[in-house]
Structure 1
Amino acid sequence: MVVIKNDITYDSEKKLKTDIYYPNDTTSATKILIFWHGGGWFRGSKDDAKKVGVNLANAGFMTFIPDYSLAPEHVFPEAHDDAVHFVKWLLNSNYTDKDDQKNIVQIGASVGGTLALYVAGKYGFPTVTWSAPVEFSKWMKNHENVKPSYEGAKEFGLTDLHDINNSFYKYFTLTYAGTADQKVLKKLDADSYDYSHLKELMMINSADELNPLPNVLNFIQFLADQNLGVELLVIKGHRHAMAYASDYIDESLDFLYQTIKRQK
């Protein structure tokens, strides 16, 4: 039986909260997992990930699912800053022991995966991303004629999946960036983050989905150029992040379990 502790405040000024999912046999040696929800930085919440939280706790992880600031009220880099603030709060809270930084792993879905990359570079937590968008500045240059919308099919009558995805990609990028300024977009690009502490990383993506696979391959080359390793799992089809999560949670957890074994 998973025990759930809801609405624990980690940022009183911004009124940001986290839910905690406890496994049955929590001990001082229990591994901690942070799950970052998706939603394009403009929607989504910890409440949408309850099923995932239960599954992760049942797998033996004390699981934290935090909320973070959403656009358009809060634009880049606020969600990124919130993610780092959450980690600092967690490491200084009563929920962790003094040396628990080595016991923390992450999974991030969609833009939650982008946040997980940002955190992994700073703290070295073993990380799995599900369809994490990684490129924005070049993508925007290459899609100047795309009209942004989170409902391209309804708003513009789009019928082609790629057109719908491109419209949405542009919408959530502009909404969170708050501008089309290339200087801002380049700072949002995942290859602009600090990866000086990056350790174990696995990226899962569908072959043809919202998050373009060529962008992911470019990012992997960027990491390789720095002699940083990454495992990539490309699955068939068009599903994005949570649409395939239940089918690939075992692969994600197997990867994280292996990183835990290597750290012992």
Structure 2
Amino acid sequence: MVVIKNNIIYDENKELGADIYYPNDTTSETKILIFWHGGGWLRGDKKDVKKVGVDFANAGFMTFIPNYSLAPANHFPAAHDDALHFVEWLLNSDYTDHDDIKNIVQIGASVGGTMALYVAGKYGFPTVTWSGPVEYANWIKQHQDVKASPQAKQDFGITDPAQIRASFYKYFTLAYAGSDKADVLQKLDAQSYDFSKLGKLMMLNSTDELTPLSTTLDFIKFLAKENHGVQLLVIPGHGHAMDYSQDYIDESLDFLYQTIKRQKQ
């Protein structure tokens, strides 16, 4: 039986809350998982991913699913700042003990994966990303002719899935960045993040999806130059993040559990 607490406020000024999923046998040794939902920084809500919250709790993780500021009303780095604020709140809350930082792990779906990377670089939490976009400035530069839209088929009559994905990628990037200027977009690029404390990382990506595999590979090369290891799992097909989540929850959680277990040995 999973116990759920809904909308526990962590930022009163912004009225941002998190849903908490408790496993049946919570103890002081229970592992803590933060799940960052996707939605292109435009949409998505913690209540939309209730099923994964229950799945994580049933696997033994006390699970926190926070909401964060959305575009276009809020531009970068609003959601990123919310993520750091949430972690600070969690570490200072009654939900954690003084040494629980070693028990915290993350999973991020789509742009939630981007935010998980941002947090991982600063806190070192073992992290799994599901189709986390990592490149913006160079991608926008290479796709000047792409028309941005959240629904390219309806707006422009585009039927090619790859072009529809590219149109949405450009749309949500510019909506959250609030600008098409290279210097602004570069700050959004994952390669611009502080990875001084980056710990164990696993990245999942489909072969042909919204998040281009080539950008993920370039990011992994970047991390490798800094001597950061990454475990990459490439999935056949076009599935993006939550599309394949149910099939890869076990692999994701096993990676996180084994990482914590090794860290304690």
Output the TM-score relative to the length of structure 1: 1.00
Which residue identity does 1:79 align to in structure 2? Answer: A
Q: Aligned runs of 1:137-216 on 2, under 5 Å?
A: 137-216=137-216
Query: CA deviation digits over 1:105-151, x for unaligned, max 9?
Result: 00000000000000000000000000000000000000000000010
Which residue identity does 1:208 align to in structure 2? Answer: D
Q: Which residue of the partner structure matches residue 256 of structure 1? A: 256
Aligned length: 264
Q: Which residue of the partner structure matches residue 2 of structure 1? A: 2
- Could you tell which deviates more after superposition, 80-89 or 151-160? 151-160
Instruction: Name the CA distance, whole Å, in 2 between partners of 1:224 and 1:162.
Output: 29
1:245 paired with 2:238, answer no
Q: Which residue of the partner structure matches residue 16 of structure 1? A: 16
Which residue identity does 1:135 align to in structure 2? Answer: E
Instruction: Name the CA distance, whole Å, in 2 between partners of 1:166 and 1:64.
Output: 31
Q: Aligned runs of 1:212-223 on 2, under 5 Å?
A: 212-223=212-223
Instruction: Name the CA distance, whole Å, in 2 between partners of 1:67 and 1:191.
Output: 24
Q: Which residue of the partner structure matches residue 27 of structure 2? A: 27
Cα offset for 1:184? 0.5
For the residue of structure 2 that corresponds to 1:17, the secondary structure is strand
Cα offset for 1:261? 1.2
Q: Which residue of the partner structure matches residue 59 of structure 2? A: 59
Cα offset for 1:23? 0.0
1:228 paired with 2:228, answer yes
Query: CA deviation digits over 1:198-252, x for unaligned, max 9?
Result: 0100000000000000000000000000000000000100000000000010110
Which runs of 5 or more structure 2 residues have no equivalent in the other structure? none
Calculate the aligned-residue CA RMSD, in Å.
0.4
Cα offset for 1:260? 1.3
Cα offset for 1:263? 1.2
For the residue of structure 1 that corresponds to 2:34, the secondary structure is strand
Cα offset for 1:192? 0.2
Which runs of 5 or more structure 1 residues have no equivalent in the other structure? none
1:88 paired with 2:51, answer no
Segments ≥4 residues shifted beyond 4 Å: none
Which residue identity does 1:87 align to in structure 2? Answer: V
Q: Which residue of the partner structure matches residue 115 of structure 2? A: 115
Instruction: Name the CA distance, whole Å, in 2 between partners of 1:155 and 1:249.
Output: 35
Instruction: Name the CA distance, whole Å, in 2 between partners of 1:128 and 1:59.
Output: 16
Which residue identity does 2:224 align to in structure 1? Answer: A
Instruction: Name the CA distance, whole Å, in 2 between partners of 1:260 and 1:225.
Output: 25
Instruction: Name the CA distance, whole Å, in 2 between partners of 1:168 and 1:74.
Output: 18
For the residue of structure 2 that corresponds to 1:263, the secondary structure is helix
Cα offset for 1:254? 1.0
